[in-house]
Amino acid sequence: MNFKIPEFPSLQFGSIYCIGRNYAEHIKEMKSSQTASPVVFLKPRSSLIFNNGAITIPEDSENVHHEVELVLLIGNECRNVSKDSANKAVLAIAVGIDLTARDIQTEAKKKGLPWALAKGFDTFAPVGNFIAVDHSVDLQNLEISLSVNGNLRQKGNTSNMIFPVTDIISYLSHRFTLYPGDLIFTGTPEGVSRIKPGDKIQAQIGNHLSTLTVHVQA
Ligand code: MG
C-alpha cells in the first residue's frame, strides 16, 4: 500500500491515534462512563481507506458501527507540547469514520482486554479529503454529520468534545512523540449504528470542508 498523503505528497501516513468517550451523549448511548483523562487506542495504517473506498465487514463480527469523527493531521514533530501551543501541531483536518466491531468490543470490555481487534480491521479507518487549517479555523466549532443511504444518523458539533483538540494533543505528546503524518481521531458524537453490506455512507465536517463517501462491500 502507498501511504503517501495525496494533499501533502511530502508526507506519509504514520501512527493512527484515537480518542474514545469524548462526547457526553455518546457515552450515554453506550451506557458507559466519563473518564478523568482521555481514553486512547490505536489503529494500524492498514485500516485506512479513502473516498469511494469499500468497507469490508469482517467474518467474525455481526455488528459493525459507524462513528463519525474529526480527524487531525499532525504537521510537525512534537513532544511535551502545552495546551497553549498544541494547535500549531495541526496541519490539516478531515472527516473520518472510526469503524467499530461493537460485538467484539463489548466482549473485550467485559474481559478487560484491549480494543485493537474491534477497531483495527482492514478498511476500518476511512478518511475524507484533508483541508489545511490556518489558525483562524475554530476546531471546536465544526458541524459534523454522517448519513447512511441518505438517512441522517449522526449530527454533532466539535464544541461538545469533553477533551478539546488542544488537550488531546498535549496529552498524547506527553506520552508519545508525534510525527508529521500521524493522525488523531478525536471521538464520536451520538447516533452510532450498525452498517450492512450494500450501504452507502456519507460523512462531512465543517459545512462540507471535508467530505467522505464510502460503501459497504456486499
Ligand atoms: Mg470512536
Query: 3-state class of 195 per DSSP?
Result: coil
Q: Range with the lowest mean pLDDT among 64-73, 97-106, 129-138, 205-214? A: 129-138
CA distance 62 to 151: 21
- Partners of 201 in the β-ladder: 148, 214
Q: Residue 61 Cα, ligand 1 centroid: separation in angstroms?
A: 17
Query: 3-state class of 69 per DSSP?
Result: strand
Q: pLDDT-derived band of residue 137, with 50, 70 and 90 as boundaries?
A: confident
1, pLDDT greater than 80? no
pTM, 2 dp: 0.97
The pLDDT of residue 46: 97
Q: pLDDT per residue over 152-204, tens digit each?
A: 999 999 999 999 999 999 999 999 999 999 999 999 999 999 999 999 999 99
Query: 3-state class of 29 per DSSP?
Result: helix
Taking residues 2-30, what's their average pLDDT? 96
Q: Residue 174 Cα, ligand 1 centroid: separation in angstroms?
A: 21
CA atoms within 13 A on the CB side of 194: 7
Q: Residue 29 Cα, ligand 1 centroid: separation in angstroms?
A: 13
DSSP-derived secondary structure letter, 214:
E
Q: Residue 69 Cα, ligand 1 centroid: separation in angstroms?
A: 7
Q: Residue 187 Cα, ligand 1 centroid: separation in angstroms?
A: 4
Q: Residue 3 Cα, ligand 1 centroid: separation in angstroms?
A: 22
Q: Which domains does the chain have, with CATH numbers?
A: 7-217 (3.90.850.10)
Q: Are 216 and 195 in contact (CB under 8 A)?
A: yes
Q: Residue 20 Cα, ligand 1 centroid: separation in angstroms?
A: 5
* Strand 16-20 relative to strand 183-185, pairing: parallel
**67-106 burial by CB neighbour count: b if 16+ within 10 A, else e?**
bbbbbbbbbeebeebeeeebbebbbbbbbbbbbbbbebbe
Q: Are 165 and 133 in contact (CB under 8 A)?
A: no
Q: Residue 1 Cα, ligand 1 centroid: separation in angstroms?
A: 24
The alpha helices in 14-163, defined as continuous H runs, are 24-29, 102-111, 116-119
